[in-house]
């Protein structure tokens, strides 16, 4: 074999490598870049955490940036199109009822993992009369859940408790430790951290109510103008929940690495909360009515609010069909 013949395979390999690099770069450049607002990098937002770290967004041609934001900031950013999506569906519904062109499009958790964690002497929700409860922000899902639970146990959420907005789960736990508040409402693993500090888990809201706790919201403009992108984001999230429900070890690792959770807390959080993750993103209608009714009362809205005023599930159903979940 001549020198030129020897060099041909080498040249072909170099050419193939160059072409592959162009294909890779082109694929990265063609991915749709989206920004998703979340309240915390924690179990409540684990669906997007798994979708990102397990490259499920990437599989759908989505280059996702997950940004931690306070609920009110995330909602304003969604209205102004500074973010494309948010997992803070309580804030989305509240803004919608005030006239914002936002809608809930999927439910990633159809029960809440939120827990009431309080001082050791507090044994039941009824003991919370006259006490101060810390939530993330006013009007957020934890705020709504806190009021729903105390009302369920016969307390008046307007007069029998005091609610303080203190930001992140960690900030709430610090406030409980310092005695600034009596009770905090937080998602795992912070409830387990509090328990190890000697505080008491008073109640788990998911044992009382089934309603959409977390999911995905976006603007009606995004739905109308870029339905294909929306469907691909939804498919990634449905796949992520499938991973969470079936793969404990991998999910715990995401909690440890992405949510910066201690391994012992991550495993405990998984065991107590895996059942809250929706299999297919469907929004439970009865639960959504509960959320809407609570908003109506808190906002003094007298008219009836139809489910499709605050939610749009058309693209979710298409995504489900494309994944073989729905006929």
pLDDT digits (tens, 9 = 90+) for 228-287: 999 999 999 999 999 999 999 999 999 999 999 989 889 988 998 999 999 999 999 988
Helix locations, the chain, DSSP H: 3-30, 46-53, 56-59, 71-79, 89-97, 141-152, 169-177, 190-196, 220-225, 227-246, 248-257, 263-273, 285-298, 307-310, 314-322
Kindly state the tokens that stand for 121: 């002497």
Instruction: Tell me the whole-structure pTM to 2 decimals.
Output: 0.77
Band of residue 19 on the pLDDT scale cut at 50, 70, 90: very low
Q: What percentage of the chain reaches a pLDDT higher than 70?
A: 91
Lowest mean pLDDT of 35-39, 55-59, 67-71, name the range. Answer: 67-71
Residue 117: pLDDT above 70? yes
pLDDT in tens, 157-178: 999 999 999 988 889 999 999 9
- What does the pLDDT read at residue 18? 42
Once rounded to an integer, what is the mean pLDDT over residues 63-76?
A: 92
- What does the pLDDT read at residue 64? 97
Three-state secondary structure call for residue 157? coil
Residue 86: pLDDT above 60? yes
* Average pLDDT score, the chain: 89
pLDDT in tens, 290-316: 889 888 988 999 999 999 999 999 999
Cα separation, 322 vs 327, whole angstroms:
9
- What does the pLDDT read at residue 24? 39
Residue 6: pLDDT above 80? no
- What does the pLDDT read at residue 55? 97
Q: Is residue 93 a contact partner of residue 291, using CB atoms and an 8 Å limit?
A: yes
* Residue indicated by tokens 């498919």: 235
Once rounded to an integer, what is the mean pLDDT over residues 23-35?
A: 64
| DSSP state string for 245-292 | HH-HHHHHHHHHHTS---HHHHHHHHHHHGGGB-SS-PPPHHHHHHHH
* Residue indicated by tokens 């900031």: 73
- What does the pLDDT read at residue 113? 86
Three-state secondary structure call for residue 22? helix
- What does the pLDDT read at residue 327? 67
Three-state secondary structure call for residue 82? coil
- What does the pLDDT read at residue 9? 52
Residue 223: pLDDT above 70? yes
pLDDT in tens, 193-204: 999 999 999 999
Partnered with residue 163 across adjacent β-strands are 133
Residue 16: pLDDT above 50? no
Q: Is residue 149 a contact partner of residue 125, using CB atoms and an 8 Å limit?
A: yes
Band of residue 105 on the pLDDT scale cut at 50, 70, 90: very high
Residue 208: pLDDT above 50? yes
Residue 36: pLDDT above 80? yes
Helix (H), strand (E) at residue 139: none
Helix (H), strand (E) at residue 118: strand 115-118
- What does the pLDDT read at residue 213? 86
pLDDT in tens, 125-160: 999 999 999 998 887 778 888 998 999 999 999 999
In 3D space, the residue among 193, 185, 191 whose CA is nearest the CA of residue 213 turns out to be 185
Cα separation, 323 vs 197, whole angstroms:
44
User: Residue-wise over 173-184: b if at least 16 C-beta within 10 A, else e?
Assistant: bebbeeeebbbb
Residue 322: pLDDT above 70? yes
**Bridging pattern class, strands 85-86 and 32-38:** parallel
Residue 114: pLDDT above 70? yes
């Amino acid at each position: 074999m001549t020198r030129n013949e020897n060099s041909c395979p080498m040249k072909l390999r170099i050419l193939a490598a160059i072409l592959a690099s162009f294909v890779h770069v082109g694929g990265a450049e063609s991915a749709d870049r989206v920004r998703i607002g979340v309240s915390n990098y924690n179990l409540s937002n684990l669906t997007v955490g798994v979708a990102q770290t397990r490259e499920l967004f990437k599989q759908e041609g989505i280059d996702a940036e997950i940004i931690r934001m306070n609920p009110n900031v995330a909602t304003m950013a969604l209205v102004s199109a500074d973010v494309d999506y948010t997992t803070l569906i309580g804030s989305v519904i509240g803004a919608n009822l005030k006239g914002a062109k936002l809608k809930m499009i999927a439910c990633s958790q159809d029960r809440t993992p939120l827990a009431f964690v309080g001082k050791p002497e507090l044994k039941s929700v009824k003991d919370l009369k006259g006490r101060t409860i810390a939530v993330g922000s006013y009007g957020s899902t934890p705020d709504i859940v806190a009021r729903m639970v105390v009302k369920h146990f016969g307390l008046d959420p307007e007069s029998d408790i005091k609610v303080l907005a203190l930001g992140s789960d960690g900030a709430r736990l610090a406030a409980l430790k310092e005695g600034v508040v009596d009770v905090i409402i937080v998602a795992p693993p912070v409830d387990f951290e509090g328990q190890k500090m000697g505080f008491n888990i008073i109640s788990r809201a998911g044992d009382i109510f089934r309603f959409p706790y977390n999911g995905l919201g976006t603007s009606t403009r995004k739905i109308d103008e870029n339905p294909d992108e929306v469907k691909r984001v939804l498919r990634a999230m449905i796949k992520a929940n499938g991973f969470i429900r079936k793969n404990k070890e991998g999910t715990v690792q995401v909690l440890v690495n992405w949510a910066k959770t201690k391994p012992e807390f991550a495993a405990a959080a998984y065991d107590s909360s895996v059942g809250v993750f929706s299999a297919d993103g469907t929004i439970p209608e009865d639960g959504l009515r509960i959320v809407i009714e609570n908003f109506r009362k808190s906002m003094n809205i007298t008219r009836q609010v139809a489910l499709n005023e605050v939610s749009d599930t058309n693209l979710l159903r298409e995504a489900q069909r494309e994944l073989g979940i729905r006929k």
